[in-house]
Amino acid sequence: MIKGSIKPGDIISYNEMCMQEGFSLQRGMNHQVNGGISIILMSLRKNAPYADRIEENGKILIYEGHDDPKNLAPYPKLVDQPQYTPNGGLTQNGKFESSATKFKNRLQSAELINIYEKIKPGIWVYNGVFELQDSWLEKSENRKVFKFKLIVTNYTISQKEKIKEQLQDLDHNRLIPTSIKLEVWKRDKGKCVQCGSRDNLHFDHILPYSKGGTSLKSENIQLLCARHNLQKSDKII
């Protein structure tokens, strides 16, 4: 996969994800790395460490902030999620919260964030670019956790500088639910339905969203390799 060529719905490995971003992704929240690009890694799988969720049929992502490192809090799930480091600097929670607050106060445009979702060990999906529009503290059992509201966009992020560009393909303006991704992956046996390739795979809408297709039914989603996905796009255009 060529660096910078990734599109929403593409299925990639961890190494390919790091290559795309030019950064070793060792944590889920990465605020303004490598020239200002922010990156979030999410998971909606059963037993995921954080309670992320999607709303409005995939248009909105509610992302949970991250806990204290275990070397600072032996039982991180028992203490409030931190806004500041022991040295007084902002944690990743604090940095994203600051960006959301500045947007709400009209001091800056919404932070653009590349979002990747883990669907299986070693298997990731690029969910596209989201705008960070809100943040708050929410009570979770006996502690407080950060919540971030992100809205999917029809924009992309240049790997060299933070700019907005209209995507030519606007079919991916809704997240495909994780349960649908897993169902399709199992049904199609992790390979292209056209040629059986296991490389450069993509979650494809059989009937595009722009033409009334849905992301909520596995019958409308299939696995295609890059070659057959491109051939289908050419036919639709």
| Among candidate residues 117, 142, 170, the one where a domain is terminated | 170
Containing structural domain, residue 147 = 1-170
* Residues 33 and 147 placed together within one structural domain of the fold: yes
The answer to whether residues 163 and 201 belong to one domain is no
Query: 153, 128 in Cβ contact below 8 A?
Result: yes
pTM listed for this prediction: 0.82
Which residues lie below 8 Å from residue 81, measured CB to CB, with a gap of 6+?
Answer: 65, 66, 67, 68, 93, 143, 144, 145, 146
> pLDDT tens per residue, the chain (237 residues)?
555 578 889 999 999 999 999 889 999 999 998 767 899 999 988 888 899 998 887 889 999 999 998 878 889 999 999 999 999 999 999 999 999 999 999 999 999 999 999 998 989 999 999 999 999 999 998 999 999 999 998 766 554 344 444 433 444 456 888 889 999 999 999 999 999 999 999 999 999 877 888 888 999 999 999 999 888 765 654
Q: Residues 12, 61: one domain? A: yes
Map residue 33 onto helix, strand or coil.
strand
Q: Which of 142, 170, 198 is the last residue of a domain?
A: 170
Domain count, the chain: 2
18 & 75 share domain: yes
